[in-house]
Structure 1
Amino acid sequence: MRKLIYGMNVSLDGYVAAPGDDLGWSVPSDELFQWWSDRVGATELALYGRKLWEGMSSHWPTADQQPGATPAHIEFARRWRDMPKVVFSSTIGAVDWNARLVTGDAVAEIARLRAEDGGPMDINGATLAGAAMRAGLIDEYVLVTAPVLVGGGTPFFTALDGWVNLNLVETRTFPGGVVLTRYETRR
């Protein structure tokens, strides 16, 4: 069985995007960017919701060819392109960049993928992760918390029907007061 991991940058008040989908508060330090890049390199399969897919696929496929691309950005772009991806959307017609599109029941497909043998899967996008949370499919939560209050926007956590008990398995501090906390779901 694969491990399903939900991790994103999050504001101290719990949002992955500020109102208007503003992500300006979450620009990572070089050290944090490298940490995210290493995660992408270790991920066997990434699951994307439509909104995050549109953002990532509009930039990373050619980011390594942009003037001034740093070695870290070049490496991340390569890793991102090479990583197998599944995009969940009923409004997108097609995807590329080593991805396949699922237009049907996201929770059923995530459960099927999770039941397979293989390495870790990352779930990306708050709405998609929320559906997986409500279905009890998330095995690990990674919060990379920035010391900023944005006052609203897209929450990291969705409304749940019951408690989810977690065990803290890692903490790490990055430049700028950013704190990583990693929790495993108690089953």
Structure 2
Amino acid sequence: MRKLTFAMNVSLDGYVAAPGDDLGWSVPSDEVFQWWSDRVGATSLALYGRRLWEAMSPFWPTADQQPDVTPAQIEYAHRWVEMPKVVFSSTISGLDGNTRLVSGDAATEISRLKAEDGGPMDIGGATLAATAMRAGLIDEYILITYPVLVGGGIPFFTALDSWVNLNLVETRSFAGGVLLTRYETRR
């Protein structure tokens, strides 16, 4: 069975995006960016919600051809393009490369993907992750917490019907007060 991880940048008050989908508060340092690049390199399958897909897909396929691109961004772009992806949306049509579209029930498809043999899966996008959270499908949560209060926006966690007990398995500090915390779901 595959492991499913939900990892995103998050504000100290728990949001992945400020009002208006503003992500300006979460621009990663080189060190954090390298962590994300290594994460993408170790992911066998990425699951994307529509909004995160629409934010990522216009840039990364051609990022290595942009002016002033850094070697770290080139490495990330290549890893991102090579990584198999599944996008969950009822409004998107036609995807390129090694990306496929799922427009049906997300929890059912995520359960099916988890049951397959294969390496780890990451889920991105708070709305899609909320569906997986409510269905009890997430095995690990990774929060890259930035020392900023944004006051509202899109929350990392969704409202749940029951508690989910977690074990802290890793912490790591980055420059600028950014803190990684990784938790495994206690089953």
* TM-score category, normalised to shorter length: over 0.9
Matched residue SS, 1:148: coil
The CA distance in 2 between the partners of 1:97 and 1:58, in whole Å, is 13
2:49 aligns with 49
2:22 aligns with 22
How far is the alpha carbon of 1:85 from its aligned partner?
A: 0.1
How far is the alpha carbon of 1:94 from its aligned partner?
A: 1.3
The answer to whether the Cα contact below 8 Å between 1:171 and 1:182 also exists between their aligned partners in 2 is: yes
1:128 aligns with 128
AA aligned to 1:90 is: S
Report the aligned-residue RMSD.
Answer: 0.5
1:10-47 per-residue CA deviation (whole Å, 9 max, x = no partner) reads: 00000000000000000000000000000000000000
Matched residue SS, 1:7: strand
Aligned residues: 187
The CA distance in 1 between the partners of 2:177 and 2:127, in whole Å, is 27
How far is the alpha carbon of 1:132 from its aligned partner?
A: 0.1
Structure 1 unaligned blocks of 5 or more: none
The CA distance in 1 between the partners of 2:101 and 2:185, in whole Å, is 28
1:4 aligns with 4
Matched residue SS, 2:58: helix
The answer to whether the Cα contact below 8 Å between 1:61 and 1:97 also exists between their aligned partners in 2 is: no
Matched residue SS, 1:181: strand
The CA distance in 2 between the partners of 1:89 and 1:147, in whole Å, is 32
AA aligned to 1:124 is: G
Q: How does 1:95-134 map to 2 (within 5 A)?
A: 95-134=95-134
1:58 aligns with 58
AA aligned to 1:183 is: Y
The CA distance in 2 between the partners of 1:151 and 1:30, in whole Å, is 26
Percent same amino acid at aligned positions? 80
AA aligned to 2:16 is: V
2:174 aligns with 174
1:42-97 per-residue CA deviation (whole Å, 9 max, x = no partner) reads: 00000000000000001111111001110000000000000000000000011113
Moved over 3 A (4+): none
AA aligned to 1:43 is: T
The CA distance in 1 between the partners of 2:152 and 2:97, in whole Å, is 32
AA aligned to 1:40 is: V
1:35 aligns with 35
- Scaled by the length of structure 2, what TM-score is found? 0.99
2:161 aligns with 161
How far is the alpha carbon of 1:117 from its aligned partner?
A: 1.1
The CA distance in 2 between the partners of 1:93 and 1:65, in whole Å, is 26
Q: How does 1:62-101 map to 2 (within 5 A)?
A: 62-101=62-101
Structure 2 unaligned blocks of 5 or more: none
The CA distance in 2 between the partners of 1:31 and 1:117, in whole Å, is 32
The answer to whether the Cα contact below 8 Å between 1:50 and 1:88 also exists between their aligned partners in 2 is: yes
1:186 aligns with 186
